[in-house]
Amino acid sequence: MAKIGIDPGHGGSDPGALAANGLQEKEVTLAVSLVLQQLLQAAGVEVIMSRTGDQDVSLADRVALFNRENVDLIMSIHVNSAGTPEPNYISTFILAAGGQAEKIALLLQPQLVAATGWPDGGVREANFYILRETDAPAVLAEMGFISNPATADILATQAGQQTLARAIFRGLALYLDLQLSEPRDIQGHWAEAAIRQVMAAGVMGGYPDGSFRPDQAATRAELAAALARVLQKLEH
């Protein structure tokens, strides 16, 4: 069974970056991390959290925890910030190309872009402490720019936080071969081809337990979310 370290950036006396709407980076990173933890645990993955509340945890303590727990990979979660409101891309950071971290990042980044519709900042290299000092492969998601007002409004909502968590989960699931792209309950269904098509396009997803539940009714909100993802794709 896989063992994953989740690292919600900042916390406690360190708020991280701040948005004009009052949102603090540490709130977003924790909210997304807690949803991601649930999704991974539901899929049978063991999760080690560097923090589960609003507390101070030093970078050294985070690294020591993950190394001591001998995790298989580390997912560090942050939100970017700039001095001007314009930048709004989403990107994934690794220490260096050529290893397992790059492999994870190359699976994760397209999921983040597809789920958010934000401009693709790509996979980037950075000499971040958490990426450098951990024994296991580590990737760090910068989930858009909190300094971009439209992005900050999305990051402040539970729906936005869940969208990001699910995208990270899908990326990690692809790497861990959790086979979530192949739900077990669509074979032979009259809509099997259509379901495969919308899943491949990232318009709709399966459940963390590996089911799609093809005959479950969708709410108007779920239908609107799926149609919005189609519209986003048409605009790009």
11 binds Zn ion (CB under 5 A): no
Q: Kindly report the number of other CB atoms within 10 A of residue 165's CB atom.
A: 23
Listed residue (51, 47, 137) closest to 92, CA to CA = 137
* Closest CB to Zn ion among residues 101, 143: 143
9 binds Zn ion (CB under 5 A): yes
Shortest Cβ contact with Zn ion: which residue? 78
8 binds Zn ion (CB under 5 A): no
* Closest CB to Zn ion among residues 16, 160: 16
Identify whether 142 is a catalytic site residue.
Answer: yes
Q: Of the ranges 16-24, 58-66, 184-192, 213-221, which one interacts with Zn ion (CB under 5 A)?
A: 16-24
* Closest CB to Zn ion among residues 47, 77: 77
Q: What is the dihedral of CA 176, 179, 181, 184, to 10 degrees?
A: -160
* Closest CB to Zn ion among residues 59, 204: 59
| Residue with tokens 């899908």, as numbered in its chain | 170
Indicate which residue of 25, 142, 222, 235 is catalytic. Answer: 142
Q: How far is the CB of 80 from Zn ion (least distance, A)?
A: 8
* Count of residues that interact with Zn ion, criterion CB under 5 A: 3
* Closest CB to Zn ion among residues 9, 205: 9
Q: Which of 5, 11, 16, 206 lies at the binding interface for Zn ion (CB under 5 A)?
A: 16
78 binds Zn ion (CB under 5 A): yes
Q: Of the ranges 38-46, 52-60, 72-80, 155-163, which one interacts with Zn ion (CB under 5 A)?
A: 72-80
26 binds Zn ion (CB under 5 A): no
73-80 and 3-8: which strand pairing? Answer: parallel
Q: Of the ranges 49-57, 71-79, 113-121, 213-221, which one interacts with Zn ion (CB under 5 A)?
A: 71-79
The site for Zn ion (CB under 5 A) is made up of 9, 16, 78
Catalytic sites, residue numbers:
142
